[in-house]
Structure 1
Amino acid sequence: MGRKAAYLKDVLLWAVLGLPALWAGLTRILADRYTWPEVIAGLAAIGVAVAFARPRPLRAMLVTAALWAGSVAVRGDPTVFFPALAVMSYLAGVRMPRARPALLGLSGAAALAAVVVPLVRWLLAAQWDLGAWFFAVTGIALFGLVPWLAGHARHQSLALTRAGWERAGRLEREHRMLAEQARLRERAAIAREMHDLLGHDLSLVALRIGALEVDAGLPESRRRAAGEAREAVTAAAERLRDIVAVLRDGDGPGLGPERENTARENTARENTAREDAEHENTVRENTAHEDTADPSEESVGELVRRAAAAGMPVTLHGTQEDARIPAPALATVRRVVREGLTNAAKHAPGAPVTVRLAHAPGETVVGVANAASRLQGRGVTGGHGLRALAERVRRQGGSLESGPADGGFALTVRLPHTVPPNGPPNGPPNGPPGIPSPVPLRVPPSVPPRTASRPVEPERKPERKPERKPERKPDLELELELEPALALARRRVRRTRLAAALVCLAAAAGVAAFVLGFTVYEAATSVLPPAEFAKLRAGQAEAEVAAVLPARTRIDDPSWPEPPIPPGARCRYYSTSPEPFGDLTLYRLCFAGGRLVAKTFLPS
């Protein structure tokens, strides 16, 4: 809300709350007509309260409580300023976050009014007025406490609404994050397929063309053409690498306004370390749905035969695929072989390659090793293949070892047939040079590529079966996190509403009981016996008449027409009977100059 709008609302509130005081200065409908100094003082006090209503709502409530108590004490009127007290009390309940200061303030105001108001009435009227004490106590409760409780309930309701909207906003942001993660997973899946399949095929094509380039049986023009074709395939592999990098990183040029906005909102992704961490998380989330072997996918033997047909000097040692291997492990074995052959074709063209596959109870060992190449590899790498492969192996509880071996390069994977119940073990993040990976990658012992065709005996590792912890979705975690705060807010709202209802009922019951008791008391203590009234004569001294009068009058002014009052006289009204709920008949005694000037019977 703008400051100008708030100022206009405050001025309007002041005008509305000041109308009863202005009306009391013009007419006698609400109460005895107020003097203009009293009206101006009341309007000024209301203006001060309105000025304090926003920054200091407790002060505003106490100012109007003092104004109302003052009008009761001086004028005996509870009607003119009670709207200001009720409105300021309600606003204090809405705007004050804590209840204790307001309750203490109202309690102090009620206690002070209970003492000051009757005392002022006694000083002004020379008569102890029990009704003033009643108005002082019940007025603060009805016009101060009850509106404050209603405002406090409104405050709690608004707090609950804000908490609900905050929860909805956080859930919406969480769902947007999940949608973004799903989009990134899809992009990563596309990048993975392009890297694994298309990259593998391009490497084999380059290998075939490279064989033609060095074939001495072809004329020079054909070998030159083969060299140009090989360079074109290499350039295509470079473009493929760029596309894969864009798909994996999630940002790139020319992807439209939506992507540019996303990039601006996530500028922290430009940090290299965070990019690597996000990539690893994406790979970790997406390897689960890949762990099923596709029947149409090439087997290990078919992969080796196709590479050999392309001109790669590759040999397969060990057993063939075992049908008893679980589908996830079989799919990973095939991917290890494909990745190893692709890397050998890229980085060691023409070097002998050895593929080893061995099965043991509960475990499969697969390795791809190449010797040193006499030719310089011209392939390109984005560093994602081994990283994704290492993460996939780790998720299945296996281990991946890669590094230089005998002048070449060796890749060895040990893969259990059963994934640990609680997922893969958490190891220190290590990886090959330039490739961050959460899997420990070590240089294996030297394994000659052309020796030991027997199966490799795998190491036996004790199985660990930690207790599985149930996973919770992010939005469920958020709901569980916010639920205690929302439950507390709901309880506060219910308590405040219940307290307001109970206070209203208690105040109503107290007012009813007090009114009944005061009516009986007033009727019993204001009776002038008919015999005593008959003895009174006009002209008697006021002191002589006062000796037979009751302690208090019944009313100050009858509400029905009465005979004219003698000029300059002041009149008192007494009951004719102690009956509190019957027809009200009165004796009127008028005094002037210290003597009784008129006595009148007033029927009901």
Structure 2
Amino acid sequence: MWPLRRIVGESFLSLALMLLAVGAGLADDKTKAQAVGIGLAAGLLSLLRRGLPASVLLAAAAGSAPFFGFAPLLLVVAWSAGRRIEGLGRAGGVFGLAYGLSLGLSVALEPHVSFSLLAIAGMFMLVVILVPGLAGRYWSQRRTLTDTLHEYNAQLLREREMIFGQARMLERQRIAQDMHDSLGHQLALIAVHTGALEVDRELTGQQREAVGVLREASVAAMHELRDVVGVLRDGADSPRTQPGTGTGGEDPGPASRGVAGVESLAETSRRAGTPVEIRRTGEVRPLAPTADHAAYRVVQEGLTNAHKHAPGASITIGLRYEPDSLVVEVANGAVKGPVSSGVASGGQGLTGLAERARLVGGMVHAGPTAEGGFRLAGVLPYTSAGEGFPSSPAGDAKPTFVAPPDDFRAQNRAGSAGDSDPVIDWNGLPKELAKAVNRTKRGNGIAIGCGVVALVAVVLVIAVVVAGVFLVREADKAMIEPGQYDAVKIGQSEASVRDRLPDGDSFLNTGPGDGAPPEPDGAQCLTLLSTEIGSSWDAEPVFRFCFRDGKLIEKKSFETA
């Protein structure tokens, strides 16, 4: 099915060719019925040129010989056939047949045409048929080559992505193996030694409780390490182990590393001797898995920093459900005493946390409070790109927490959803690259069009110059001025008269024409055209000189049709 734009364009083109054919038919002294018939045939052939390029080209070439109204149609059909006829040999054969058919019918309809006129007709057909065909074929081949290069480039990009993906997977497996062999072993030793220390009878109750907290923390760290190793190896979250199903019947820690696990984090800190308060405001709403896990990490990072840098200070955890996002806060009070400098700190926790929040469309803020404490806050949207979780309430706009240039999802939305390939779907390209591609294609199209027009114009100019020179020469053979006619006197010798006049051997000199007076008996007459204009469009002024017995016996000036 044609799109609406093509239907409108084809309709206007067909109508224009139809009107041109009717006008050319009337100018060629055709009847109104014949001119209308030529126009309808031209309009029908214009509509069929896409489906039957070779047949329509041959039909238009055959019709252009008897009907001049087919000449505009022949230009359009030749361009279209050059684009659509497949195979160089087939295209050459069709265009050669069309050229020979048009030229042959022209000669058949005018059997007494001179060789010079035949050469002009052949050049005209060459410009009308072969030049548009070559231009159309070049445009089609260039477009095919461009599409092939796009496909090849897309294949190369896909192969590169596959290679990168395989290398990334191998590196993740290596990292996972190193983490499992090193950290797993150390955490297992910590869990075993703290478990043995917890049942030591010499420990007081408070010491035994502190050792229990250490043991549970080491066990939870082991399970989190196992999850991280699973993600690195498989590229997806590994199944969560439910409470009581860990090795040796140990509780692996919180059942969910999301907002639901915040209470467990707070309880662990309370058992370590730190007062922790949780404040919840607003209507509880679900988050996307990535945002839910980010909220858990914000609380975990805040508690860890508070324990390291402000031991013993009270901690407040805030979960504030706003209309468009969840605000997670962890604030601790002022430090009550000197802080030990023996705690290891990588300095990358807040940086990684900010990156995690940015990837889900949120942001993180950290800074001191007015009371001398420290506050860590994260703003996390309820929805994430490509995740089918509830959207914000009706009428609320989707939140934007980061600037568009820094938003990873805005830069590659097609890739985040996983449903389309930006290499295959050109609409998934970045805007700058898409504009550059479109601008390049548009510029190349304009350059090709200008080149084709220039080529056709050069050929036409050459043809006009050659035809003009040829017509001037032919006119010198067939035309004289009235002064030359008056200078010739009856009774002069035939040789002297013929020396002063052209021989009249030209395709422009077609004879006396209709309405010429009869020639004298036994005389040989020379008919020449006048350089003057006739009394009407249908009248042609003619000079005739008749000779007999080597002398000029008559000269006449008259008009013929």
TM-score by length of 1: 0.42
**Higher RCO structure, 1 or 2 (CA under 8 Å, sep 6+):** 1
TM-score by length of 2: 0.45
